[in-house]
Structure 1
Amino acid sequence: MSSTLVLPGDSIPLPSSSKSVILGPGIAASSSRIQAPHMGTTPTCISTRLGLLSSLKGKEKSEQVWVEGSSKRYIPAQKDMVLGTIIAKHAEGFRVDLGSAHMASLEGLAFEGATKRSKPNLKVGTLVYARVSLANRDMEPEIECFDPNTGKAEGFGELKGGLMLTCSLQLCRHLLNPNFPLLPALAASVPFEIAVGLNGRVWFKTETVSESIAVKRVIEGVDSGEIKAEKKDVENAVKEYLA
């Protein structure tokens, strides 16, 4: 499935083996239905851009489906994890830059434990890790810094210190794949915290400046193709940059 080339407007049947399907970038729901053998009709989706049809199975028989393209501009999609920079404050919340065509809205109550009397006081320039809660074509996207299922932060919120770098959208999506070897290989050599946004931004925090430089150069090297995302190659690159 990951090697299938699709064009804008192509029909994409939903996987029948999965209990729930999450539509990612490049795929939109369609009102049409197709005839499936012994199953009557099943709903379909359509591709909105040129690229490779990709999928990733998650927990409890869920599956995410998206179109892997070469787009450089991030288009917000619901449930995406993103890194944003606060560019303005207002009475009800904040306006956040995600690197997309439109700024995102972040309510002051969209944080763990936030109330009308107790809201986070974030300054302009603050980096936040958030989740896209609303993404419609003709509206500004909305983001939130907590998990609505648990009411807890679950890693979302303000990111203090560390370093943020800009990567390709494809690399960021690969970094969130548990089978992609880059982050485990880096963690074997350098201890660090990391937050990956599907909008082409990566934040990480290490104990020393030299380790930060090494991690930054390795991630940029893998993104440019100069370094292979294999354990031996990554470990050798880290040793070279730390020497």
Structure 2
Amino acid sequence: MDIERQIDEFVLPGDTVALSTLPSPLDSSSSIVLGPGLHYDKDTSAFISHACGHIREPTSLTYYVDGHRPCASSLSTGDLVVGIVVRRQLESLLVDIGYNELASLSLYDFEGSTKRTKPNVDRGDVIYGRLKIDGECQPQIVCVNEDGKADGMGVLNDDGYLFDLSVDIANDLIGQDTLLKDLGNEIPYEIAIGANGRIWIKAKTTRQMIALRNIILERAKNKLDINQLKEVFAQSLVS
């Protein structure tokens, strides 16, 4: 059985959190308020984290996960996002995409998925999908285009490298960055960029993946030209 995390302890997505000793978390007399990074699982009667960070209680019976979470409030329907599966249900997944609320992903919204052949997806897997509904509703994502094809979306390889970036920089990178294309001429690699500020990279070696991450972060911090950035990339490969 997983250990329940307590107030001020560090949690990961999917961790169970001990927030109250009251008989029922849903008892109206308890007045528990859940902030960003936490939700109540009715099936297991437990509080679950869907973010990385420390559990905080700023006021009595008010809780949230204090961690670095890129702002995803500017996401719109149709945006590509990178998410982390928090829980698998009978016919759907709950996915953390940076919203205060988990996104829902139907297991039938994968290419080739049927009642008999559902995709092999579980907690901790990284998903690349497209936002289907936003606004006041629970966000939903799909991993197929209008023709039912994956079109690059789906479960990302578990030996890739995932990191966070500002939403503004991530959007700058999507579909219009010549640096990423030029780097592809240097080494083969795969990349998935989410409008929610998450980037997944897969290259042949860990050193190459870290070098790619360094060059993207360097681009975000400093206004260097392409030749200068390529020099930083080359140095990262040998350092």
Aligned to 2:139: 141
TM-aligned CA deviation for residue 216 of structure 1: 1.1
The answer (yes or no) to whether the contact 2:86–2:95 under 8 Å persists in 1 is yes
The answer (yes or no) to whether the contact 2:70–2:98 under 8 Å persists in 1 is no
Identity fraction in percent: 31
The answer (yes or no) to whether the contact 1:99–1:199 under 8 Å persists in 2 is yes
Aligned to 2:229: 234
Aligned to 1:94: 93
The residue type equivalent to 2:229 in the other structure is V
Aligned to 1:80: 79
Aligned to 2:113: 114
Aligned to 2:15: none
Aligned to 1:41: none
User: How far apart, in 2, do the equivalents of 1:238 and 1:156 lie?
Assistant: 27
Indicate how the Cα distance of structure 1 residues 162 and 72 shifts in structure 2: closer, same or farther if over 3 A, else same. Answer: closer
Which deviations, in whole Å up to 9, do the C-alpha atoms of 1:40-87 show, x marking residues without a partner?
xxxxxxxxxxxxxxxxxxxxxxxxxxxxxxx94102310000000000
The residue type equivalent to 2:95 in the other structure is V
TM-aligned CA deviation for residue 121 of structure 1: 2.6
1:207 to 181, 204, 209: 204
User: How far apart, in 2, do the equivalents of 1:174 and 1:209 lie?
Assistant: 25
TM-aligned CA deviation for residue 188 of structure 1: 2.8
Gaps of 5+ in 1: 1-70
1:222 lines up with 2:181 in the alignment: no
TM-aligned CA deviation for residue 139 of structure 1: 1.1
TM-aligned CA deviation for residue 128 of structure 1: 0.7
Aligned to 2:156: 159
1:181 to 178, 196, 221: 178
Indicate how the Cα distance of structure 1 residues 72 and 166 shifts in structure 2: closer, same or farther if over 3 A, else same. Answer: closer
User: How far apart, in 2, do the equivalents of 1:120 and 1:188 lie?
Assistant: 33
TM-score, length-normalised on structure 1?
A: 0.66
Aligned to 1:28: none
Indicate how the Cα distance of structure 1 residues 185 and 233 shifts in structure 2: closer, same or farther if over 3 A, else same. Answer: farther
Aligned to 1:172: 170
Which deviations, in whole Å up to 9, do the C-alpha atoms of 1:11-52 show, x marking residues without a partner?
xxxxxxxxxxxxxxxxxxxxxxxxxxxxxxxxxxxxxxxxxx
Gaps of 5+ in 2: 1-68
Q: Which runs of 4+ in 1 moved over 6 A?
A: none
SS in 1 for 2:108: strand
User: How far apart, in 1, do the equivalents of 2:94 and 2:76 lie?
Assistant: 17
The residue type equivalent to 1:239 in the other structure is A
TM-score, length-normalised on structure 2?
A: 0.67
The answer (yes or no) to whether the contact 1:175–1:182 under 8 Å persists in 2 is no
Measured on the aligned residues, the alpha-carbon RMSD in Å equals: 1.6
- How many corresponding residue pairs? 168
Which deviations, in whole Å up to 9, do the C-alpha atoms of 1:177-218 show, x marking residues without a partner?
32x332123223222111111000111111112211211111
Aligned to 1:24: none
